[in-house]
Amino acid sequence: MALIKSVRGFTPEMGCNVFLADNATIIGDVIIGDDCSIWFNTVLRGDVNSIRIGNRVNIQDGTVIHTLYQKSVTEINDDVSIGHNVVIHGAKIEKGALIGMGAVVLDHAVVGEGALVAAGSVVLSGTLIEPGSIYAGVPAKFVKKINPEQSKEINQKIAANYLMYSNWYKEE
């Protein structure tokens, strides 16, 4: 059973049809929307500031999401896929974005709608990633624009797959 912990008077809130892996950790001021999946060894630590997660978001294994006390919040909008072992710290991820495996997105960065952050990239604090673009590298830099329909199709497929995978665990 996932660890759901209240802290400083805040108790995590979940929407409908949310899958929490057995060893996921959800702490404090965290609100998760509908049809989301939070996978194994993931930590959503809303102890020092708020974490808001939209609908149809999948946060894959080993990801850590946190904030800065009184300085940053984390906001993840609808239809976002976050790969394995990602760190998001006080950033905003817009609708339909994809954060690749092992990426780091730091405080006050904004990942635009439908953008893709490549695996292993480091998005520095305050970086503004344009909607519909691919960023890669350390530090992450603009690579190219991506076709909005292609981006939407890829991310919707990933999101649908993760919703399907989460249902496999509910059947047991």
List the CATH number of the domain containing 163.
2.160.10.10
Query: Domain range spanning residue 92?
Result: 3-170
pLDDT at 97 over 90: yes
Q: What is the pLDDT of residues 114-172, one digit of tens each?
A: 999 999 999 999 999 999 999 999 999 999 999 888 888 888 889 889 989 998 987 65
3-state SS assignment for residue 3: strand
* Joined tokens for residue 17: 């049809």
User: Which tokens hold the place of 127?
Assistant: 């970086």
Closest-CA residue to 165 (of 24, 60, 34, 83): 60
SS3 of residue 58 by DSSP: strand
Q: How far apart are CA 31 and CA 33, in angstroms?
A: 7
Structural domain count, the chain: 1
